[in-house]
Structures are given as structure tokens and as C-alpha cells.
Structure 1
Amino acid sequence: MAQSTSHVQLLNAHDQSKVQIGNNYYNDSNHDRCITDLRLTDPRDDKERIQDTKGGLLRDSYSWVLNHDNFQRWRDDPQSLLLWIKGDPGKGKTMLLCGIIDELKKERDNCLSYFFCQATEEKLSNATAVLRGLIYLLVVQQPSLIWHVREKHDHAGRSLFEDSNAWYALRGILIAILKDPALKGTVIIIDALDECVTGLPELLKFIIEQSSLTSRVKWIVSSRNWQDIEEKLGRTKQKVRLQLELNQDSISKAVDIYIGCKVKELADLKNYDKETRDAVQRHLVGNADGTFLWVALVCKDLADSKAARKRHTLSKLKSFPPGLDPLYARMIEQISISDDTDICKEILAIASVVYRPITLEELKVLVELLEEDDYNDLPQIIKACGSFLTLREGVIYFVHQSAKDFLINKASDQILPSGTAHQHYALFSRSLGALSKTLRQVNDILRDNGNVHGFIQEKYLYWLECLGLLRSMSEGVKAVHKLEALVKNAEAQQLTKLLRDARRFILSNRRPIEIAPLQAYTSALVFSPEHSLIRELFKKEEPGWMILKPRMEADWNACL
């Protein structure tokens, strides 16, 4: 297919079942499935979550970068294709990029694609996920680009994005998209390269290669001051470097604005008088050292504090040392003298080694010291873990990657005294213990007139409708095949017979139900054999408006 002919045209307005892309025709349901399979996470939602978790985005705290010579050079010079924003932890790089995204959105000609790497979440911390997120936003904004994905996805399905060759497949797809003449002027933004735990060298190589090819595509990346990132990106010729430590005046002014906002919130919450408010603001300005995160952590501690009197507030304020690491060390000291010291340290140890953020329900299983009476107090116990952790919608996150780094690298003797491997084994052991409480022998449920038998008899057709709505008919087919094999071993004759019919039913009707899930109650039933067990069980669901129904064969085709 010639790239210059890339376009999308909807055919057959009645059922909207075909899409023409270039000279090829695709089934529209496969188009939707492709988008669904491609989406691992929506970076737009990640951005909203990050902004919300960090207390909202202040334009005055990032607007300085818009007038910075290096940013304007990147924006206006067609030869400056890569802007690299680098700085130490807590300097506001992520929120800076959130602000830049909002400003670039105002320029209607821009197609924006971005991704926020987060080492604390597995699906946001690998190079393959980065490419998936970037491609997803590009094809959502410019649907004609989907054919680059569909060419491979129509043959491979979801495994295209998940198997051992996923990086290479996605890299090829994104390269093809970036070369497509139909692609609008595009800005690609990747935040926190240092938090790409898996595949960072490959991702850096990709960025270096692609960011030097065309002025139609410009790049912005951010990272900490890491030597290995410096060595690779430092060789790029068409880049503009913006180092936050070299812009201390601008950063300090932005932090001062942020402090003003946080102090106002504190004053309203704690009913500070003007003298207390001014004293808090002076102390924060004098000790922040251009670090947004330090201010956020101190203000959170003050907000959670029960100190009511002015002298108590000021005394507590002076106990916070300048700098992130000293502040983290103080938090560990406070935990060590608290009533919940052991359970807090165990929770921090668990959070430090798990590969994704865990929920409160999961934590209940994993914390050995947690009694059943403590379950309702768990949110309060999380709050007692200094300010290392934050709880959002029932999920426990580190407040910042630097907090996790500190626990592992500088406080492991207190949090992980027996080592990381021992902690992994402890979690493994407790997980097995939890499973053993609910596991049942498979033969206990795979029997005639058991739970599974009842489900197939009463809910099977409704389950197929749900599979259709979820675009998951293929997974349903595999599940029925697997279940049928298990039941054969269990020697349940009636259930085996029913599952054989259920397998034939789903194989025969998967396409109609996938395209239009409500066909489960119409064509799937009336075009099934007269003696189909599923048809007989759900005869009441056959359409009443159909007076004359087709006469079908007695049994299924032997090929099914």
C-alpha cells in the first residue's frame, strides 16, 4: 500500500462493518479490537492521575520554561529536534512536562503523543510500554495511521504487543508512522527516562535515531542526571539541553510560588494567624533549595499534624532538615519511635519489593503482623508510614521514586534487615498461604450438577454477550476448550456433553457475537441445530417477533 494514499473511509453506512484504509478493506470490529489490544494504559489518564496526586498543576510554577531561550530555540528552530530536560529528584520535571503538554495543546496544528515512565508501576516502567503508549495516542488522534498497526495485528492479535518480539514489532510500527507523509506535525514527549527499568538502552537508541530524521516530528524527554543517559543523549547533535540546576533562579521563583499556594492551603486548614502563616512561609522558602518535593512532603506532614498552638507548629517546622535524603532519614526516625513501628516497617518493606502498586485488600494478606482487628485502621497505618506512601482509590503508591530509592539504598538495614531476597520469599510464602485457604480440588466443582454445570446451564448465553462486548471472544473459546479438557478427566458425563455443545456453539457464532453482541439472542440461537443443548436451554431467549424460523439440521456439523 502506498503511504501517500493512506486514508480512512467508512463504507456501508447501514451496518458500518467495513473500513477502507488505502487500497485495503478491514472489518470495523477488528479496527476497534486493534485499538483495545494496543491500549495498555491511556497516557492522558496517567497525566491526570499524576497531577491530582501531586496536588494540581500551577501555571505560574512552570510558565518560566515557556520563555526560556532553550525552549524557544527548540520550538522555533527546525534543526533543533530534541529538548532534553534534566535535573535532580524533586525538582519538578514531571509537572514541568505536564505544563508544557498543556501549552502545546493550545497550538491546534500539533499532534501530541506522550508517556510518563514510573518505576513503581510495572506497566509504566519498560520500553515496550512506552512505544505502546505513544502509538496509542497517535492513532487515537489521527485514525488514518491505524493501518500501520492493523497490517500486523490482523494476523497476530494481541500477542503482537505482548510476546518476546513486541519491542521489535512496535518499533517498526512507530518508525513507519513517523515516516508516513500523512502524519501531522507531531511532538513526542517522554518523561522520566531514568524510571524506564526494562529496555532503557534500546529506548535511548531509538530516541537518538528517530529524533534526527525529520523536522515534522520534535521530541522532549526528561531524566535525572544519570551518567549512562548522559553518555548516550550527550552525543546527539540536534538537541537542546535544559539543565534545571543551571536555572536555579527560575526554579527558586517557581518553588516560591508553589510554597505560597501550599501555605495558603495550610493556613485555611489549620486556621493559622498571619504571624504563623508568615513564619511557615519564611522557613519553607529558606530551606526548600529549589526542591518542590521537599516542600510537598513538609506541608503534608504539617497538614497531618495534630499540633494546634503556634509554638508547636513552629517547633515542628524547624525539625524538618533541608534536603530530601535528610528529610527521608528523619521520617525513618519518626517511624522507629512510633507505636506502629514494626508494622510500618513491614509495610514499607513490602512496598519496596513488589513489582506494582498493591491494594489495601492485597496488603491485608501480605502483612504478617496485621491482625483482623487492624483491617479498618489500615489507611491510618499507611498514613503513619511517614510520607513515604500515599493512598489513592484503595491503591498504595510511593510518594515519589526517590522515596523508594532511599529505602532500598540508604535504609535497607532498617526496612529490609534480612535482605531483598528474604522479603521476596516471605511474600511468596504468605501468598501461597492465602491461596491455600480458598483453593479447592478441581474435581469437587467439575462434576455433574455442580457449580460449573449450573453456570453453563443458566448463564452461558449471557456470558457470551459479555465476551462480545469486551471484544474477548477468542479468550472465551480458549477457556471453553480448556474447561472441556478438564471435565473429561473428571469423568462428568452430562457436563462433558454440555461443554461439547457449548464449544460448538461458541465456535459457530463467535464472529456474529463479536460484531454485534446481541446476536447471541437472535442469529446464534435460531441458526443453531434443532438439538443443540445450548439452544434448548435458552429457548426462552429466542426472538418472539420471528414468526417463521429457519429449519435447521438436527445436530452440529462434524467439523466443529
Structure 2
Amino acid sequence: MTTIVVVVDALDECDREDDATAIVRLLSMAEEVTSVRLRFFVTSRPELPIRLGFKHIGDSYRDLALHEIPSPDIKRDISIFLAFQLAHIRQNFNETITGPGLPPDWPPSTSLESLVDMAVPLFIFASTACLFIADSNYGDPEEQLNRILEYHKTGGWSQLHKTYLPILDQLLLERTDSGPVSRPENKKAEIITWFREIVGTIVILADPLPAVSLARILGRRQFDVDSKLRGLHSVLNISEEPRVPVKLLHLSFRDFLIDYKNRDANPFWVDEQETHERLAARCLHQLSTGDTLRKDICGVQYACLYWVHHLKGSRVRLHDRHQALQFLQHHFLHWLEALSLIGRISEGIGLIDELQSLVDLDNGAEVSRFLYDAKRFTLNCRSVIDHAPLQLYSSALIFAPEGSVIRQTFQNHISWITTKPAMERNWDPCLQTLEGHSGWVNSVAFSSDGGRLASGSDDGTIKLWNAATGALQSTLEGHSDGVRSVAFSSDGGRLASGSDDGTIKLWDTATGALQSMLEGYSDWVNSVAFSSDSRRLASGSDDGTIKLWDTATGALQQTLDTSTDSTKLSFHSSGSYLDTNIGHLELVDGTKASSGALGVNRYSYGLSRDAS
């Protein structure tokens, strides 16, 4: 059988934690493939969601922590890598000059050994050092190697300092006929200032930007940005194509620059909080200037999506005179329109939530009222403006309560409408209406963390919604008749659905994949419920029975004859009995005992964790 090995590098660099855990679940499903032997080699920092994701898939993987690899093995591997790369650098250099070039035994064994000692245990040091040695902007390979080795003699520095300071220090040197000399202090200060502004921005950005967009957000000329990044190819991935984002070659460069503990030893240290604050201000300035955010103009995507991220990173508290409130009072509708045009309107609700968390409780009464109303307004019209963004300036305002802060702030947009419908004065308790099913909705259930909502309908589908924004995440199809009950597992990773087709289906909520189908009923399945540990599933039917299933194997464990319809059931937290519409059913050695009759409930319902 053919073996295919797939390498997944830097899993921890997924944009969202949910994406990383979903990939882990998908990898575990490779065992179901029988035509080839699939193997996956995954590298990642040991972030908690990823460690938990692997823990949940059982023993189908082997874990290898790099810090547990014996030091001699690491040293040997790095030595092989450096010897190969330096030989390649020597060859390339000798082909570009007319003189004798570097000798065949370059680098000397003592220099190679010192470089290996500096690198262990970080391969990123070895890789970065080779890029620097091969960079002809600052000298020939021998000069570059010697500059790195000078830092080997400096004690007390971290490994990252020894990796990156030899490269950055070259910015502070001036090349002369007699060799590089230190620049005057005022020139050094100028270089460090632009470095912190430009490179500091690159390492703090939530999403990489090409040089042309970077220049725009910083208010600089693109030529200026390009020329200043020219000497940093050893640490940045800079494409010749101006529309390709500038990226870090390795996240450790960011760690090095924002390391607060070593700020005094690092002249290039970047103040993360200050950089976030500057970026937030630049984003708001860009969105507030000229025609960047006007009707029918998409604007600048990065500023629209991430100005709140940078505001939060600056740890600012929003008060009633803050620039953010002034921006929202003038451009809130333009901002929502831009988010809608780029398909990110649902994210706007989360951004408003983040802004609310930043409000100064003592000095932010006005901004607090504005943000509360902004969220209610966005939730109320999200589905409309998702399809027709320009309705923001008419129907969304007209059908908002007359006392709405947003309606009153932007009423000039509807002043041309002479006859307006009578609306309530204030928002009613209904936060949002979720639409999408083509038949009756019979059952809804919240995940245990309150983040997702599942709905089962007579149209035979289950829909998964983002409970905070109301955005549809996925539609699960597979039942041949109406879905009468849905239930999440305790970790939210699986969903059970019971249907009028007499079957129960178990779904992976991250991928939407059908995991298994449980059969055995002769009539409708009215209710399903997971045990607290999610190892068992109970199901009730119109055929007068309740069945208990092993969720791991799909095996039927027990059938309880109730002689009546089972329309409601749930496990007690102890797992020792079921609460049903006919009473308590005790689960002891396959027998049952009934007591305490409960009211019959034809359909199922669910509450969020906080019962809101």
C-alpha cells in the first residue's frame, strides 16, 4: 500500500483557534481512508487549544517535544545543516567574483564549531545566520560570519539576542573605504525611530500587509518603506512583487523585538502597547479622511477590520471625548457598509463587543450608550445589510426604534422620507431573528459555552449559528424527514439529531461531517440527550422506547420500554437516571424505575449557559 506523508508546519499560526482544532479533528479522520496509508507530520508551538485538540482524538498520534530531544542529536543535525549551507554560500560567492574567492576549507572548523555552539538548540538561529552570511549588502561571507561570531564572546545574552542583534546592528554601521564604522548618535536615533515605526508595525500587525498598504497606513511614501526594508531580508520575507505582503521569516523575531524584560539590552526594542496605540490612531485617521469611507466605497480593509484590535492592544479606556467615539458618530454606517461589502459584517458585532469592554465606566456614559445601541442596531439589521448594504441608510434606520441613538445620530439620511412608519420608542427584548429554514423549527440547543446555537427543522436540516452574531456557520444535511431534536455534547465537538425518519445522526460540529448513524426505531425520534461525559446518548421515540447508545462505537447499550411517547429526556448530572416526560427512569443494571411524573412537552428547547 502506498504511503503518503503530509507535512503541516506551524499549526499554531492559524488565524483562529477554531481553525487549528478543526484541522486536528480532520487529521484524526484520516484513519478512515483505506486506499492509501496517510501519515501527517505536524509542527506547532504547544498552545493550549492545540494540546487539547490532540488529547480529544485519543491515542492515534505520537507526541514529540523538541526540548526533550537529546542535545547531541540536535547539535549533530544543526552541524550538518550549517556545513551544507555554508558550502553552498561559498560556491555561490566564488562564482560572482573574479579573484581567488573563499578557500575550499572555508569556513575553518573552529568557526563552524563556534557557530554550531551558538545555534544549539535553535534551528532558526542557524537558518537566520545563513541568510545574513549570504547577504552581500553588508560584506562578503567571511566578514559576515566573523560579525556573528563576535557575539559568541558576549555573555549573558539570550539566544534570540545572539540570533538577531548581529543583523540589526548593521543598520547602525556606515560603510567606508576602511570598513564599517559606527554612525553618529543622532543618525542612530533616526534609524531606531524609523525602525520602530516601520518594522515595529510589521511585527504588531494582525494581518500582514504589502509594502504599498503598509506605506499608506503609516502615511509614508512606498519608496521610503521599500528602501528602509532593503537591508532586512535576513529577518523579513520581502517579495519583489509590491502587492505581496511583507512577512516575518519566523515568529521568534517578533518575540525578540517586543520582549519587555530585555528592553534595556535591545536598542531596537518595540513598545507593543505604544505601537498598538499609534496604529489604532492611524487606522481611524485613514478611515476618517477624504473619501476612504463614503457611501459605495469599500475603503481600506485592514483599517476597517483591525482598528479595534489595535485600540484594545493599546489598553486604552474609552471616554466620551475619545477619537473612537468621534469616528463612530460620523462614520458608523460607513464602517458597517464597508464590513458588509467585504463579507465581514458579522465580525462587526464582535468588534462592538470588544469596544464595550474598553469603556471607562466613570467617564464613558455617552460612548457606552452609543455602543449598546450600535450593537442592537447591527443585530437587528444584520441579515438585511449582509445582502443589501445600502439599506443601512434607509430601511435599517426607518425600522429602528424612534429613541435609538443610531437613528437619532444619522436621521439626516432619512429626512427625505416624508411618511415614516410608527415605531416603538425603545428596543424590545428580541435581540435577533435568525432566518434560513424552509420549514417549522422544532428544536434548538446552545453549546455549553453559549457560543453556538443549533436548530433542527421540518425541512430536514440542522443549522449551526454563531450565537453572538447570528451568522450561519454551517448547514447539516442527511436526514430524509424533519429533525425533531438536537443536542450538543458537553465539549461542543459533536451534535446529535433525532428525526422523523427514525434515525439519530452524530455530527462533527467543526467540520460538519457525519460521524455515525444510529438505527433501530420504528417511529419518530422525538428527543436526544448526551450524558455529562458525552460517552452515552439517550433517545426517545414515538414507538414507546428509550434507547441508550455508546457514542464512541454507536453500539446500542439498552432499550427501555416506556409504552408511551418519549418527548422529553435528559441525563441527571450523576448519570444514574433520566428525567423524562413520564418521570425519572433509574439506570441500574439495565432496569428502570419510574417516579415523579413530569409535564409532556411536544417539542424540544434549550437555554444558553447564562439563561439569557
* Structures share fold, TM-score greater than 0.5: no
Q: Give me the TM-score of the superposition, normalised by structure 1.
A: 0.43
Q: Give me the TM-score of the superposition, normalised by structure 2.
A: 0.39
The structure with more radius of gyration: 2
Structure in which a larger fraction of residues adopt strand: 2
Bigger relative contact order (CA 8 A; separation at least 6): 1
